[in-house]
Structure 1
Amino acid sequence: MEVFGSSGVRGTVGETITPTFVGQVARAAGSEWFSAGTRTVAIARDTRRTGEMLADAAAAELAAVGCDVRRLGVVPTPGTQAYCAREGLPALMITASHNPPRYNGVKLIGADGHELSREALERIEARLLRSDRDGRGSSVTWDRVGRTERADGARRRYVEELLSAVDRKSIASADLTVALDPGHGAGATTSPEFFRRLGCEVVTVNAQPDGRFPGRDPEPVAENLSELGELVRASDADVGVAHDGDADRAIFFDERGAFLDGDAVLAALAAAVLEPGDATVSAVNVSQRLVDVADEAGADLELTPIGSTFIVTRILELVGEGRRVPVAGEGNGGVLFPPYRPARDGAYTAARFLELLADRSASEVVAPYDDYENVRINIPYEEDATRRAMLEAAEAYAYDSVAEVTTIDGYRLDYGDAWVLARPSGTEPLVRVYAEAGSRDRAAELAEGMREALEASIEEPPADA
C-alpha cells in the first residue's frame, strides 16, 4: 500500500498531513462505507493541538459524501474502538499515537471495533488514489449532505466497560498504589479515573491533557519516562504505568522504580493465560521470551509483519478457524486480549498486569522472563533511494551470514542464541534495527554489525543515482 502503513497513516502536520489530505482520506473512506450502506461515521481524536482542525476537515468531507458524523471529541483509540463495536459504526481516529507533537495522522476503525483489514484499506486507498489522479471525488447533492452532531459519553462508557471486564475484587484487595504517566495524551482523560475506581491509590505525572506534550515525548520508552520512575520511588508505589499519545499501549515500572522491558511483561501476561493447544500472535521482532513461554505452554506462536493491523488480521483468522487466542501483541506495550476485544488497549493491559500483583511484586512477576537484553537503533533517511539502498544492504548482509533468515517483514537473522532484525518503519522515515541476546554486549554487537552494513550503503551512491 502506498498510503496506509502498518498502523494507519501519519506524518508531519503542514507537510504530509494537511487538512486537505485528511479530508481526502475521509472522503475515500466515507465513500467506501456509504456505498456499503453505512450512513453514519464517528470521528475521535487524541489531544494533539492539530487534532480538532483535522477532525473538522474530515467531518466536512464525510458530510459531502452523504455521511452523518458523530464527533466524539478526545477519546483513547481503544475507547473509540469500544464505541464503534457498541454502536455498530465505523470511525476515523485522528492520532499519531507515539509520534512527536508535530505529527498527526488517521487510523480507520470498522463498525465491529476492529482495525480495518489490509483488504479493506486497499479498497479505500484505491478510491483515494483514483480521486487524487482525476481531481474528483464523489459528492451528494446539496439536499443529501450529512449532518454533524456531538456525541457525549464515549469516555465514560469506555471506563464502565473496562471496569466490567477485569477482576476488580482481586485488584482492590491487593491495596495497590499506582503511579500513572499518561503523557498528556488521551489516556489522561480516562486512566486516572479507571484505576481509582479499581480501588487503587493513584498518583500521577503528566496527567493534564495537553497536545504540546510539555512533560515528555509521547513515546513511552525508558529515556522519556524518568519522571515516572522517580514518582514510583517517591510515592512508594507498587507499580508505574505509562501510556502513549492515544493510550493503546501500556509500559510498566516495578516497585523499585525500575523500567520493565515490554517483552518481559508480555511474556508474563502470556504465561498467565496460555494453555496447551492455544495460539498466540506476535510480530517478526518477537522476543525469545514469548517463544519460550509458548513452547512451555504447548501453544503455537504465529508471526506477522510488524504493525497492529497485521496482528489483528491474523488473530481474527485464527479465531475464525476455531482457535483460542487468549493473548497476542508486541513488546512495545501493545498487547491484545482477543476474548475481551481484538484491539490494543493500554488501560485494559495495565489492569491485567495489576491482577498479577495480588500476591507478588512487579519485579517478581517479570523475573522469570528477564534473561535477555535488547538493543534498538533507528537509522533515518530522507530519500526513497537511500531507503532502498539500505534494504538491499540488509538483504546482502543477511544472506552472507550463517544465520537462519526470515523475510516476513525486513530481514531477521536468527543465530540460535540471539537474533537481529532490520526493517523499514511503517510510520516514520527510519530503518529500524532490533537485536536480542543473552547479554547486552552480544545484542549490541549484532545491532552494530547490521548498522554498519546499512550505513555503508548510505555512503555509497545508490545504484539508480
Structure 2
Amino acid sequence: MEIFGSSGVRGVANEYLNPEFVCNIAQAAGSVWDADAVALARDTRTTGEMLGNAAASGLASVGSDVHRLGVVPTPGLQAYCERVGVPGVMITASHNPPQYNGVKLVGADGIELSRGTLERVEERLLAEDFAAVAWNETGREERIDDARDRYVEQLLAAVDRERIAAADLTVALDPGHGAGALTSPRIFRELGCEVVTVNAQPDGHFPGRDPEPVAENLADLGRLVRAADADVGIAHDGDADRAIFFDENGEFIEGDGALAALAAAELDAGDTAVSAVNVSQRLVDVADRAGAALSLTAIGSTNIITRIRDLQADGESVPVAGEGNGGILFPDYRITRDGAYTAARFLELLAAKPASEVIAPYDDYQLLRTDVKYQTDDERRRLLDAVEAVAREADATLDTTDGYRLDYGDSWVLARPSGTEPVIRVYAESQDPARSADLVERMHEAMVAARDGD
C-alpha cells in the first residue's frame, strides 16, 4: 500500500497531512463503507479539531451522518463502533511527536480495517473516485457526549474488579497528556486502586514528555513510583492504545517482558499467539512451554489484526497477540490494542505477586533498538542496500517477512523501514548485552556509511 502504512496514515500536520488530504481520505473511506453513519473521534493533538472537521466534511459529502465523539482513546472509538454498529475514523498519530497527526480507520465491528479493505480505500483515494451525493443527501452531524463513559463502563465489566480491588494496589499513572488522561485515572480508581498521576492534563503540546512511552521519556514516572511507594507505574501513548509498565521499585519493565508475562497467563496447548517479526525470544519461549504456536507477521497493528482474523476464521484459538511496544491484544475481549485494558489485566497478575516477581522469569534477554534517519528516496535505497549486503554475508537464518531479520540461534538482529516515519529501525536481542550492542552497531555503521557515501 502506498498511503496506508502499518498503522494508518501519519505525517506532519498541515504539511503532508493537510485538511484536503484528510477530507479525501474520509471521502474514500465513506465511499467504500457506504454507511448511513460514521463515528469520528480524536486524541488531544492541537491539530485534531482542524483535521476532524476536514474528515467530517468528507464523510458528509458522500452521504454519511457523522457521530462526533470528541477526544476519546482509540479503543474508546472502537468500543463505540462495535456497540452502535457503525464504522469509524480516528484522528491520531498515536506515539508520534506533537507536530504529527494521522488517520486510522475502524470497521463497524470495532476492529481496524483489514489490509484488503484498506487497499480498496486506497484505490478510491488515489483515483479520486468518491461517491459524492446531491446537496439534499449530504450527511449531518450528531454530538455523542457519553462515549468515554460507556467505554469505561464496558471495560470495567470485562476485568476481575474484585481481584484487583482486594490487592489494595497503588498505581502511578502517566497518560502523557493524551486521550487516556480523560479515562484511565477513573478506570483505575474504580478498580479499587489508589491513583497518583503525572502528565495527566490533556494537552496537545505534550509539555511533560513526548507521546511515545519509551524509557527515555518516562523518568518522571519512575520517580513518581518511588516517591509514592506505588505497586506499579503505567504509561500510555497519545491515543492510549498502548501500556508500558514500571515495577514497584520504579524500574522500567521492557514491553517484551510484559507481553511474555501476560501471554504466559493466557496460552494453553493448541492455542496460537500472534506477534511481529521483531518478536522477542521471551514470547517464543512462553509459547513453546505452553505448547502453543506462534504466528509472525510484518510489523504493525494492521498486519497483526489481519492475521488474527484469518486464524480465527480457520477455527484457531488466539487468546493473546501484540508487540513489545506495549500494544497488546486480547482477541476474546476485542481485536484491538487497548492500553487501559492491558493495564487492568496486568493488575490482575499483581494480585498474586509484586511486579518485579511477575517479570523476573522474562529478564533473560536484552533488546536494543536504534533508528537511522533518511531524507530522500535515494538515501533510503542506499540504507536498504547496505542492510541487504550485511544479510548476504551473515552466517545466520534470514527472514524477509518485513525487512531483514538475521537469526543467529542465541541472538538476532532486524532492520526494517518504519511504516510511519522516514527511518530504518534496527533491533537486536541476545542474552548477552554486549552481543546485542555489537549486532546493532555493525548494522548501524554499515547503514550510516552507505547513506553518507563513506
After TM superposition, the score normalised by the length of structure 1 is 0.97
Distance, in Å, in 2 between the alignment partners of 1:378 and 1:349 is 27
Q: Deviation per CA, 1:177-234: give whole Å up to 9, x if none.
A: 0000000000001000000000000000000111010110000000000000000000
Distance, in Å, in 2 between the alignment partners of 1:389 and 1:6 is 22
Tell me the percent identity: 68
Unaligned ranges ≥5, structure 1 = none
The alignment status of 1:195 with 2:152, answered yes or no, reads: no
Equivalent in the alignment of 1:362: 355
Q: Deviation per CA, 1:36-85: give whole Å up to 9, x if none.
A: xx110110000001000000011011111111111000000011111111
The alignment status of 1:5 with 2:2, answered yes or no, reads: no
State the secondary structure of the residue aligned to 1:273. Answer: coil
**Where in structure 2 are the equivalents of 1:308-387 lying within 5 Å?**
308-387=301-380
Unaligned ranges ≥5, structure 2 = none
Distance, in Å, in 2 between the alignment partners of 1:400 and 1:381 is 24
Equivalent in the alignment of 1:229: 222
Per the TM alignment, residue 392 of structure 1 is displaced from its structure 2 partner at its CA by 1.7
> Partner letter of residue 379 of structure 1?
V
Equivalent in the alignment of 1:456: 449
Equivalent in the alignment of 1:130: 127
Distance, in Å, in 1 between the alignment partners of 2:103 and 2:38 is 14
Distance, in Å, in 2 between the alignment partners of 1:44 and 1:249 is 17
Distance, in Å, in 1 between the alignment partners of 2:107 and 2:377 is 31
> Partner letter of residue 358 of structure 2?
V
Equivalent in the alignment of 1:58: 55
Equivalent in the alignment of 1:263: 256
After TM superposition, the score normalised by the length of structure 2 is 0.99
> Partner letter of residue 296 of structure 2?
L
What stretches of structure 1 move > 3 A for 4+ residues in a row? Answer: none
Match of 1:39 among 18, 21, 36: 36
State the secondary structure of the residue aligned to 1:73. Answer: strand
Q: Deviation per CA, 1:412-435: give whole Å up to 9, x if none.
A: 000000000000000000000000
Equivalent in the alignment of 2:283: 290
> Partner letter of residue 201 of structure 1?
E
State the secondary structure of the residue aligned to 2:252. Answer: coil
**Where in structure 2 are the equivalents of 1:173-188 lying within 5 Å?**
173-188=166-181
Distance, in Å, in 2 between the alignment partners of 1:270 and 1:99 is 27
State the secondary structure of the residue aligned to 2:265. Answer: helix
Aligned length: 454
State the secondary structure of the residue aligned to 1:216. Answer: coil
Equivalent in the alignment of 2:141: 148
Equivalent in the alignment of 2:15: 15
Q: Deviation per CA, 1:147-197: give whole Å up to 9, x if none.
A: 111111110000001101000011000000000000000000100000000
Q: CA RMSD in A?
A: 0.9
Match of 1:306 among 299, 309, 319: 299
Distance, in Å, in 2 between the alignment partners of 1:216 and 1:4 is 27
Per the TM alignment, residue 460 of structure 1 is displaced from its structure 2 partner at its CA by 2.8
Distance, in Å, in 1 between the alignment partners of 2:105 and 2:377 is 26
Distance, in Å, in 2 between the alignment partners of 1:99 and 1:126 is 26
Per the TM alignment, residue 454 of structure 1 is displaced from its structure 2 partner at its CA by 1.1
The alignment status of 1:115 with 2:112, answered yes or no, reads: yes
Match of 1:93 among 79, 90, 95: 90
Per the TM alignment, residue 138 of structure 1 is displaced from its structure 2 partner at its CA by 3.4
Q: Deviation per CA, 1:58-113: give whole Å up to 9, x if none.
A: 10111111111110000000111111111110010000000011000100000001
Q: Deviation per CA, 1:132-151: give whole Å up to 9, x if none.
A: xxxx7432111111111111
State the secondary structure of the residue aligned to 1:356. Answer: helix
The alignment status of 1:253 with 2:253, answered yes or no, reads: no
Per the TM alignment, residue 323 of structure 1 is displaced from its structure 2 partner at its CA by 1.0
Match of 2:433 among 435, 440, 453: 440
Q: Deviation per CA, 1:414-459: give whole Å up to 9, x if none.
A: 0000000000000000000000011211101000111111112112
> Partner letter of residue 412 of structure 1?
R
Equivalent in the alignment of 1:430: 423
State the secondary structure of the residue aligned to 2:226. Answer: helix
Per the TM alignment, residue 273 of structure 1 is displaced from its structure 2 partner at its CA by 1.2
Q: Deviation per CA, 1:284-321: give whole Å up to 9, x if none.
A: 00000000000000000000000000001111111111
State the secondary structure of the residue aligned to 1:116. Answer: coil
Distance, in Å, in 2 between the alignment partners of 1:65 and 1:264 is 46
